[in-house]
Amino acid sequence: RRVHLWAWGLRKGTFLYLPRLSSATLAGKLTQSTFTLDQPLGQFNHLNISDSDPIWLVVAHSNAIRNFTVPRQTEDIPAPSDFPQRGYYLTLRANRKLYSSVQGSNQLPVLRVGNDTRCSPTKTGCNRPLPGSGPYRVKFLVMSKKGPVAETEWSKETRLQQAQVLQAVPGPQSAGTVVIIAILSVLLAILLAALLILLIHTCCQSCRNVLISSPEEPLSMGRYSTHHMGNPSAVGGS
């Protein structure tokens, strides 16, 4: 539900909007390094800001929100590389026009936090994958050239999925399991022995088929004639 009521009693410039996980049915809404939020469509229409004023998403460890300090100028905006030390950083820069309540029907109004694996973590606004399972909390912060203008409330805690490690089942193995392991071991040994015998047999056959060459002896070439050329008797008979 959209609430455009200023809550000056909470904190000056804070208005009642709670960022939340996407309500859409989509794959990968919550992974080991990302989570998906609903876009705050129309939530900033009532603010006296320019359409070009940046709207940032603040990502913080749940236990670090008390230490969050609103940056007073662009140079003070923390990048993801500051996350381990400060416990928060700013990302997904947008503006009021992008969060207008009217969007194309082919666009899904969501924000995927931690979805950019190519940007440098030292770059302001980089949307790097989140480093752990959390929990995390987020809020939107509106800035102008003069400094911060307004901010939303912190979201509820979000915990990412954790990789599950397969562990061996403790306790003694059953008799059937031991028999199966023994049979498989014997079959594996037989297979290895057969492969070794085949390899030796192939090598022996190759050695027998190799031709041993020796230096060739020179051939003696004789010259002969089939006619008695220059025979005196032959001349006389003619």
pLDDT recorded at residue 74: 83
Neighbours of 130 (CB within 10 A): 20
- pLDDT for 209: 60
Residue 168: the pLDDT is: 52
pLDDT of residue 5: 36
Q: What is the pLDDT of residues 55-110, one digit of tens each?
A: 999 999 999 999 999 998 888 899 999 999 999 999 999 998 888 876 655 667 89
Measure the CA–CA gap between 91 and 79, rounded to whole angstroms. 8
* Boundaries of every domain in the chain: 14-152
pTM score, whole prediction: 0.63
